[in-house]
Amino acid sequence: MNALNKKRLIIVLLLLGWSAVSTAQFSPATPIAGKQNTLDYIQQNLRYPEQALESGLSGEVVVAFHLDGQGQGSGYHVTSSFCEAANASSIDLVRKILWHPAQESMKPVATDMEYRIEYKAKSYKRYWRKRERALVPLTLEADTSYRIYDPYHLEEAAKPYFADGSNMGQYLLSNLHYPESAKAGEISGTVRLTFVVEADGSISNIVIKESVGGGCDNEAVRLMQETHWIPAVKNGKYVRSRNEQDITFHFGARNYQDGNGY
């Protein structure tokens, strides 16, 4: 092989290597709550079009949008849909998802995104046959800007509050199930969660900020997913707000619901 051909071969190999490195260094955007918690939120808050549900029509809605380097979405629109009546609520659900932006060479970058929401009539009916939708008594109009307010942006009386007929402490005592693996390992500790109370009182974007392990993290998320809230108020409208909750697992404590000591 002559010198010129050798040089060309080296250049080609270098270019191929650079392409492989560049591809390997790209990380796609991910929901801050993780894939499963995000899917749980969508399942719990999906609104199936009545006629489509009655006829057993199933399919998906694909919502496309642009995500910038700060994880902020824009330009939400439907690119494919099994039922036009599901489009608006699908966009609403996707707009509520918070994201870690995509990264390239460990730096955040903008990217175009698609999120698919599946509508399965049989699964939906089966899911809600075992549950009841909470009717949170809301009396104000909801803000439509999707802005999220931090606690210091809200007056004390306007912050969100627990709407499940008891205070949070009573709710946790009555509903916490100590995980078997945590009991076996005599694990105690406090799981700290952050989450968003949506303008409709639902809970989204649950993130574990401090972990305990032994199944306690999953149980803390479950407890929070099943709560309902009166949302925060700003300028006479219900708004989205960031919140934090500690859930403590104390080995040796007595559970209020089942009377067992751990």
Give the domains, in start order, of the chain with CATH numbers. 27-129 (3.30.1150), 148-249 (3.30.2420.10)
Letter for the amino acid at 161?
Y
Any bridge partners for residue 78, and if so which?
63
Going residue by residue through the chain (262 aa), what tens digit of pLDDT does each one get? 565 455 554 444 444 454 444 555 899 999 999 999 999 999 999 999 999 999 999 999 999 999 999 999 999 999 999 999 999 999 999 999 999 999 998 999 999 999 999 999 999 999 999 888 877 889 999 999 999 999 999 999 899 998 876 688 889 988 999 999 999 999 999 999 999 999 999 999 999 999 998 999 999 999 999 999 999 999 999 999 999 999 999 877 655 444 444 4
pTM score, whole prediction? 0.86
- 84-114 as b/e: b if 16+ CB within 10 A: eebbebbbbbbebbbbebbbeeeebebbebe
Number of other residues whose CB lies within 10 A of the CB of residue 83: 19
Compute the half-sphere exposure of residue 241: CA atoms within 13 Å on the CB side of its CA.
Answer: 26
pLDDT at residue number 233: 97
Any bridge partners for residue 23, and if so which?
none
Task: Answer for the pair 87, 81: CB distance below 8 angstroms, yes or no.
Answer: yes
Q: Where are the alpha helices (DSSP H) in 73-215?
A: 87-95, 121-129, 168-175, 180-184
What is the DSSP pairing of strand 237-249 with strand 148-149?
parallel
d(CA 44, CA 93): 11
Nearest to 54 by CA among 118, 134, 122: 122
Angle between helix 35-45 and helix 87-95 axes, rounded to 10 deg: 140
Q: Look at residue 73 and give its three-state secondary structure.
A: strand
Q: How far is CA 5 from the centre of its chain?
A: 54
Q: CA angle, corner 116, sides to 114 and 119, nearest 5?
A: 160
pLDDT at residue number 251: 79
